[in-house]
Amino acid sequence: MKVAIVNYGMGNLHSVLHSVQAANQLQQKPAEIILTAEPDEVYAADKIIFPGQGAMPDCMSALLQSGLAEALTDGLRRKPFFGICVGAQLLFEFSEEGDTAGLGWFQGTVLRFQSTLGADGRPLKIPHMGWNRVHQTQNHPLFAGVAQNEWFYFVHSYYLLPHDSSIVMGKADYGNDFACIVGRDNVFATQFHTEKSHMAGLQLLSNFLRWDGTL
Q: Active-site positions?
A: 85, 193, 195
Sign of the CA dihedral with 201 first, then 158, 175, and 169 last: negative
Tell me which amino acid residue 165 is: S
6 in Cβ contact with 12 (< 8 Å):
no
- Dihedral of CA atoms 212, 83, 44, 14 in degrees, nearest 10, equals -120
| DSSP symbol at 70 | H
For the chain, what's the residue count?
215
